[in-house]
Structure 1
Amino acid sequence: MIELRTGEDLRRISTALRRMDDKELKKRFRKELRAAATPLVPVVRASIRNIPSSRGFSPDGLRGQMVRATRVEVRTVGRDAGAAIRVDGRKMPDKRRSLPSMVEGKKRWRHPVYGNRAVWVTQTSRPYFYRVVRPAGAASRRAVNRVLDGITRDIS
């Protein structure tokens, strides 16, 4: 049986780590959380590269920028403590920061055709993130639970 941990468990463990003065244990906790989430990054990047395009994949194009913006984020403090895979709009060039959510289909994607503001088109979304992360999520949750169990044993 697999016991799923909640964000509350993670917050409790991170609070206990903050109270302790063991920098090595804190460092190991962050490192192991990052290692548990890292295998999903190449999966998401491959999904972005496989988004259909008439021009093919270019590292300098929009999809290339999205690939470079994909990363693991680990937080061990606050309400959002945990490890997350993120296609970070803040890492995108100006005026393209909302592109990751528009391509996923969360926002409407309308733009002028080659800069001609008299002619606009609505771009179809090409979901790339949740459809590949959900199936792999169970393995990541198990890995995070192993990390939490090991750190809990070390704290106790």
Structure 2
Amino acid sequence: MTIANAIRISVRVSGNPGARVWVDKGQLPPDLRRMPQVINEGRIRHPVFGNRRRWVTQTAPPLWWDKTVRTHRSRMEREMARVLDDVRRRLD
């Protein structure tokens, strides 16, 4: 849930309209700040529930983050388009 809480979205309606989704590393605890850089490597070392005396290495298929995003890209694009439409209606 920690990474999910650090995900940010920005929407630009003027100039070159669009939306961007990113992980705000400043919102992550210090021991997870490198997570966005290493999440695709297939091995993530982290403390167990924040207990810095007990660490585990969690594995996932390499590039799992990119594959997950690609799988859900159309839904994310539809949601971003909906948000842009909402903003556009408010500006009219």
TM-score (norm 2): 0.47
TM-score (norm 1): 0.33
The structure with the largest alpha-carbon Rg is 1
Higher helix share: 1
Higher strand share: 2
